[in-house]
Structures are given as C-alpha cells and as structure tokens.
Structure 1
C-alpha cells in the first residue's frame, strides 16, 4: 500500500473516518506533503512514522477534527433537548454526554440553557483533539464564537479583557475527557439521559457509524435519547439513527428531520463519575459536505444566493454555490471572501485560508481576509504566521475599516460579525 493510501487507511481504521467524504482526503494529502517536506522523508516513510509516532498521529487528528464551532449552534434543537427535562422532579441531575465536543461551546451551551430553566445537569464532553479539550477546559472564548448568544447571555460571560468566560459555577458542571467513538464508551460512564453527537457520524464509514450508535445505546438511561444533526446521514443516504424522530424534537416544521434515537433502555444505570482520560480519542471531524449541484446561472446571481444562504446559516449551500460561482468568475473578490467564511464556518480551515489568500491577491488591503488567515494559522498551530497576519489585518482595519471591494449587501450582512471578528483577532494577538 502506498504512503498516502496507507495514511488514509490508518485514519479509517483508528478514527473511523472515511477521508473520501467532504474533502478530507485533500486536507490529509496537503498535510502529508507538508510533513514529508519538513521531515525530508517519502510518503511511505511517513506512513511508518504515523504507525509508531504519537506526534504524527496527533497531527493527523488535528487535520480531521473540529476546528470551528460556536455557542448555540442550532439553538432550537438544543433548547428542545434541554426542554425534555423541564418537568423532571428533584433528584439526581440530568446526565448528558456531548460526543465530539470540539472546544466546548456546545457543552457549555447546554449548561447555559439548563441553568436558565433551573434544570440540574452534568455534562461529559469528549473529543479527539487534545488541544480542543484543553481550550474547552479553560472556558474562555473570543467574541466571534459567542455571536449566537443573546445580548443578556453575552453580558453574563463578558470580562474586562474582552474575552467571554464561563463562570466557575457552570464550568464545574462539565467534565472534559478524551475519547474515540470507535472505542467502547468512556470508562465508568453510563446512564445518560441524552447523548448529543451532532455533525460527527456523517464522516464515519457506515459500519463504524452503526457500531458507534450501538455503543451509545448501551450507556443510555431508560427513556434516554441519542441526538444527532439533520446532516448526520450515512454514505448511502440513510439517517445515522434507526428510529424516527419524535416531532417534538424536530429542528423546525420545514427542516429535514433531525435523527434521534429515543426510548432506548441500556443494561445499567449511571454509576461512578467519568474516570480519568484514557488514551483513546473522539472523532469529531468537520469538513465540506458532498457538494450539491449548483444551478446554471451567472456568477453574480450565485453570489447573491450564497449570501442569502449564509445569512440564514446554511453554510453548505453557500459554499457549493460560491464554488460554482468562482469557477465562472475567478476574479470575484466577494466570492472568495464569502467562500472563505462559509468554509471557516463548516470547519474546513485549509479551504477557507486558500480562499482568503486569493482574495488578498486581488485586494491586498482586505483586512477581513488577513484576520481570518491569522485565526486559521493559529488553529493550525502556526503561531508566527498567526501573529503576522493578525497584526497586519488589525493595522489595515485601523487605517481603512471599510470594505470597499465588497458589495453593500455583503457589507451589511457582515456588519455585526465584523466587530466580533476584530475583537476576537485583537484578543488572540494579545495572547500569542
């Protein structure tokens, strides 16, 4: 087996991820080429390193794991999940496992919603990426990731530094632990009232996804539910759960049904608190979903439709429309910026950075692209490049805060988010 094919096979075997889905293979290929050049080894030799070197394994983990999320992502669904326990009497707290928790925003969103309703809750948050877990345990976030919170919610978390921090009282309700969904459930963890595993199983091979679901069922409390996202379908188009969603938990009347496995009875109640982290890891990959076929239209029309899709939160549709639009008009600054934002929102850092670089070639004064590049470099661990891009982006913003090369419609769409982006970039630069 060749080096590249061997690396992809290693990812599938050890992480359960089908790298052929959602452009992950391209990201892995770029990573392998970069590492081979840095180490001065062949792909075949790199594969041998991966099989025995935990540092290289961690590098692959970072390529295929979540790089971007935010508070209250799909808020309606989270509110419905928490709302199921509103009538619960006093006693033991609600136990929830967030599988594929990334940097913790989803776990803390659940805690915030439960606290607002007076529902006692304990959350186990697991992920593949050790860096993400460490970030989540710190519970300090920039302005961009809290954009889904209401103003009163943000005020409760605001600090003088400009960052947003989860109070210790709420932070103590979340336990971060490393875990791999291809392995048995975390040691000592059982009796969950809900398991939230959203935007994860979509990227698994079908057998691994079904195995993961079976293992999750084994640790549910009687009447517990596994909650996935509407996009979590398997390779053959079937839902990642095997029972229909109760309509009370539907995302919205017009949205695709959100798969939920409900009313499943595991063999044992909740036991001890989760044990210390094991060496396993939890796969929560995010990348581009399979592209939809874009309608035949001019580039301007596609950009307008993509902007509308972004505005309503449909990043997959926006990304696919913009990809088609840029093929027709490869000099569209606006197309590259919006495509970069869509890729960034769906966690495809490499694709996002490529688009922002293209935008900067066409308009070197585009501070928003520089800031996104800086944040992307930081997520990839390139601190020097991150500092350089963030500093330049903030300097450009100070000189000319407008975005003259973008249409007024796009400027209006970005009006609120751009302020959060500048704050997040400044906070990140100060921390580097």
Structure 2
C-alpha cells in the first residue's frame, strides 16, 4: 500500500505542473447539489481544458490530475506499463490494513491470476442461472410500494433491490439490509474522512467474521467460492480474500443502485422515452446502454508509475490521475450530441471502465438493471417526478441521487 503524500499548495507544486493548470476539484468529498449535475456541472467541465491539476482531489488527501476526453481516459485504462491500479481507492489506507481491492487494484501479472480465478463467477451461463432469483427480488421490492401511488425510488428500490441481490449471492439474511445501507452510504458519500474510516473498519470487521464462518461452514455463495478457488495450485491469501469481499461489497451494492436511480429519473422526466420502452420492452437492453453512457457516474483513479505524456500533459511517477466516466461518456469529440439521450444509439461507452480492469461484475450489473427496469415498467402505470420535488445529488467519486420522489395514478 502506497501512502498518499498529503495536500499540496501552489507554492509546493511539482516542477512538471504549471500553475495555469491548477483548478478546484469538481467532485469534493461531501458535496451535494439540487441541480442536475449532468445538465450543469458536467457540461461546464466538458467546456474546460482537456486535463487539469487539483491540489487535494484524491479523496481530500492528496493532489490529482483530472482528464476528461474519452480518448485520453481510454488510453490510460489500456496502459498498464505507465499506470498502476494499486491504491486507487482509499479504503485499505483508511482501515490501516495491507490489502487491496481484488481484482480492481491488482496490476498484471497478478491481475491476470485474480481474473482467471474470479471469471467463472460471472460467466453468461452462471448469470443466466440467477435470473429467476433476481427477478423475484425486484418484484418483491416493487410489491411494497406499487399500490401506494408514490414512492421515493432511491430509498424504496434503487438501494434495496441490489442489496437484496447481493445478500442472496452472499447467502446472508435479508435482515441485514438496513445495516448494509448505512455502511454503503458512509463509504460512498461520507461527510468526512472520519466517517469513511469508521464505516470501512466496520465493513472489514464484518467481512473477516464472514470469511471465518464460511471456512467452517462453506456453502454455495461467492465467499465460499473465493475461499476454495484454486488456479494452478494457488488460492487467495487472507489479504486477497478480504480485498475480494470488500470489492464485492462496494461494487455489488453501489453500481446498480446509482445507475438505476439515474435511469428511472430520466424516464420520469422524459415521458416519451418511458412510453417507448413500455410499448417495446425488448428495447430496454439497448436503452440501458445509452442511459449508462449519458449518466455514467463513477470516477476511478490510477497512479503513474513511469514517466509518460498524455495529450501534452507530462505525468511523473507518483502522480495520481482521475478518470471521470461522466466526462468521457459525454465527450463531444466521441459522441454526436452527447447531452441528448438517443435510446437506440448503442454506444461504446466506458461506464464499466476499460482495458484489463473492465468491471468484473458488468454482466451481473446489466442483468440487474434490465430486470429491475423491466419489472418496474410492468408493475407501475406511467410515473413522473412529484410536483415541487427537490432532488438532491451527492457529488464525489460517484454521482448518486439521494432521493427521487415519484408519483403515479392507477
């Protein structure tokens, strides 16, 4: 684990960084807005420079380069010679451990070993086998509010549905939903570093206990699989097991909830698109790809490990680099009219990352999104945002809705 260097100032800038390139970090810790950031913040950043330098953008703990063009971000994703995935997330550092997210923070050749061990979990055949249980969980969640004529979609489905799926895959009781919700929110949208540290320590303690239980009583769940998995005579050590489970926790709970929230908000605000998908549910998978592009929500980081230049920007070993998919996927150099959602666009987007580190659970996330949206449109009549509703979005390394009040008439 590489420790962060701490915040810098204009007076202590590295020699290769020009003062003219320094700007405030656009996604600071704890910030929230009642504007739609995809109509205000994202377009403003896209109109700005191709890359800039922030003084404390790495989770408030150190300096960070921010790139916005899809071409540049994709080049960094693909370049494992000059850029490392290790320590792109702050969780191990916050907890004081010596582990990394597996396989998200693994570099080749270790990453190749980790992916070959985990790929069998997410094959199309295995994913198809869980369709029925995912559909049941979506229907169960929707059943709780479908006859009420209103809901807070974030609270009532976007958060609870993927957690229910995660609990099923981990063979954990549904009674843990509220605890997991609390931990997830403090990890993804902490009000302070102290709050993020508190949640990280709690999740690590829970996962260590769970790993211990599965060693004694293995079952047909993801943790039991990781404990017993073996590639060419080698399994995961304790730190790797913890890193794998923590990665599942973060990705399993947040990816679907964030994207589903923005996708349903779009349909609530664009009744013609909602009507089109109701009339032709077979279009939902393609529509979700376009919505994943338009409302990409995640910013990941890389660390430069070998001097290089990207689009005229000199990067030196130790530099941290932000790869904001909300900017890359709305890059006008890559997409025609990127601010316009075209449900039949079928874009090649970076919402699940790129290169060897493309999201391991992308197939599962897509299934959850397609099933969740299909079941929602089938169960509810046309819905819209409640009159006078004030919708708040959290802006950090994940752009996520805090609430989404919907109403409908039977």
Shorter-chain TM-score above 0.5: no
Q: Given the two structures, how large is their TM-score scaled by the length of structure 1?
A: 0.24
Q: Given the two structures, how large is their TM-score scaled by the length of structure 2?
A: 0.25
Ranked by relative contact order (alpha carbons within 8 Å, sequence separation 6 or more), the top structure is 2
